[in-house]
Amino acid sequence: MRRLFCIMFIFLLFLTTGCWDKEEIEQRLFVTEIGIDVYQNEGENNTDRLTVTYQYPNINAIGKNAGSGPSNFLLTANSSSVFQTGRHFMSKVAFPFHFKHLKVIILGRDFLREDELMRSVLDELNRDTKINKRVRILASDRKAVEILEASHTMEQRIEGTIYSTVRDNRHTSSFTVKALTDLITDFDIAGVTIVPRVTLDENNKFMVSGGCILKDYRFLDWVNAEENKIINLINGDVALETIDVEYNGNIISYAITSSSTKRNVDVGDKITANINIEVEGYLQGYILNNKKNVEDVKTVLEMEKSIEDEMNKMINQTVSHIKEIKADLIGIGEHLSKFHPKVWEKIRDNWDDIFSDIEFNINVDAKIRRIGLTK
């Protein structure tokens, strides 16, 4: 019996294949960030429409036993598509590219204005099985390669320095996180979306602030950080955020800890959007004299009124801007499609013109829940 078992064991060894196709981590190039620009080529019969830049980390320069060399590598080539670029690079690198760890895609300034290219690239990214569909999308007011060149020498991180900034917006509402699937969904449902804006500061360091409005797969306008905060506030997507308000000649800082938005659209001779926003927070900083302190209920109520007035002003300015450029970023059309479907079917084809003409009633209710440790 023992002899039979040994013979069977030896025979089974020939049926095992092992890890014949194993690739060591050092033999893979993990692309973490991609920049997409327009290739300005005046020649004829050239299919290369894009200038694509790959960024990937130097694995040997990361970890406890890190060696010397740059923290990241950049490769740029002109190509007909995003992934065709990788094939152009095969003569320049020793190992194949892997895209499962792709974290960020940056759309360059000129590319944002090419709707056909935008559709083509997004379709390619959405169809491909090799990339994570939660990859973050950013828009730049300059060439995407310039942003990557400014960021690739920064701290050594496998996930990339830009992704560390735009992973989520739990700590700021100055930009709106946008993944690939979110972007495509927004285009399919509303035809308009907003993605974070990435630029370079005076020290040539990348900075993510404000947003880029895209409509029908094409650049429409920029919004600054304050307008982006308001858009997020109306959409009920505000985390911890601080606003500064003038009160009796002094500046008080109000930190928002929670918010909720209720909207109701009245449909009659004219469409009216009623938006009620409730916010709660605490006083981050304030200076009061001996006659007034925040233990006085009247003083707190006055401060809440000042906060409400300032927020109403900011909201009305932002709403006026998006009405002017005909960009429904606050979901009024989506609300109509859900709760007034018959009306929506009649007006959906002319929604851009109708949206710019609807009336908004904005009401903000702000509460100060904590005043800090001092009076």
One domain, residues 239 and 213: no
Binning pLDDT at 50, 70 and 90, where does residue 70 land? low
In a domain, 178, yes or no: yes
In a domain, 125, yes or no: yes
Lowest mean pLDDT segment, chosen from 53-67, 160-174, 360-374? 53-67
**Are 179 and 134 in contact, with CB atoms under 8 Å apart?**
yes
One domain, residues 327 and 219: no
One domain, residues 218 and 236: no
Measured CA to CA in angstroms, residue 155 lies from 5, 62, 196, 285 at distances of 57, 10, 22, 33
The predicted structure's pLDDT at residue 166: 84
In a domain, 2, yes or no: no
Binning pLDDT at 50, 70 and 90, where does residue 20 land? very low
Which is more confident, 105 or 3? 105
Kindly report the CA angle at 206 between 78 and 50, in degrees rounded to 5? 15
Domain around 297: 231-370
In a domain, 117, yes or no: yes
One domain, residues 257 and 365: yes
pLDDT digits 0-9 by tens, 190-238: 899 999 999 998 888 889 999 999 999 999 999 999 999 999 999 887 7
Picking from 198, 223, 248, the residue at the C-terminal end of a domain is 223
One domain, residues 99 and 244: no
In a domain, 272, yes or no: yes
Q: What is the average pLDDT across 244-257?
A: 86
The predicted structure's pLDDT at residue 288: 58
pLDDT digits 0-9 by tens, 299-346: 888 889 999 999 999 999 999 999 999 999 999 999 999 999 999 999
Q: Count of domains in the chain?
A: 2
One domain, residues 75 and 147: yes
In a domain, 289, yes or no: yes
Give me the CATH number covering residue 262: 3.30.300.210
One domain, residues 331 and 215: no
What is the average pLDDT value for the chain, to the nearest integer? Answer: 83
Query: Does 264 score more than 80 pLDDT?
Result: yes
One domain, residues 181 and 54: yes
Picking from 223, 248, 283, the residue at the C-terminal end of a domain is 223
The predicted structure's pLDDT at residue 202: 86
Lowest mean pLDDT segment, chosen from 207-216, 289-298, 344-353? 289-298
One domain, residues 57 and 106: yes
The predicted structure's pLDDT at residue 44: 55
Picking from 202, 223, 244, the residue at the C-terminal end of a domain is 223
Quote the percentage of the chain above a pLDDT of 70.
Answer: 81
pLDDT digits 0-9 by tens, 115-136: 999 999 999 999 888 888 899 9
In a domain, 21, yes or no: no
Query: Does 12 score more than 80 pLDDT?
Result: no
One domain, residues 141 and 181: yes
Query: Does 292 score more than 70 pLDDT?
Result: no
The predicted structure's pLDDT at residue 226: 92
One domain, residues 127 and 255: no
The predicted structure's pLDDT at residue 257: 87
Give the chain as a 3 state SS string.
CHHHHHHHHHHHHCCCCCCCCCCCHHHCEECCEEEEEECCCCCCCCCCCEEEEEEEECHHHCCCCCCCCCCEEEEEEEECCCCHHHHHHCCCCCCCEECCCCCEEEECCCHHHCHHHHHHHHHHHHHCCCCCCCCEEEEECCCHHHHHHHHCCCCCCCCCHHHHHHCCCCCCCCCCCCEHHHHHHHHHHCCEEEEEEEEECCCCCEEEEEEEEEECCCEEEEECHHHHHHHHHHCCCCCCEEEEEEECCEEEEEEEEEEEEEEEEECCCCCEEEEEEEEEEEEEECCCCCCCCCCCHHHHHHHHHHHHHHHHHHHHHHHHHHHHCCCCCCCHHHHHHHHCHHHHHHHHHHHHHHHCCCEEEEEEEEEEEECCCCC
One domain, residues 84 and 208: yes
In a domain, 236, yes or no: yes
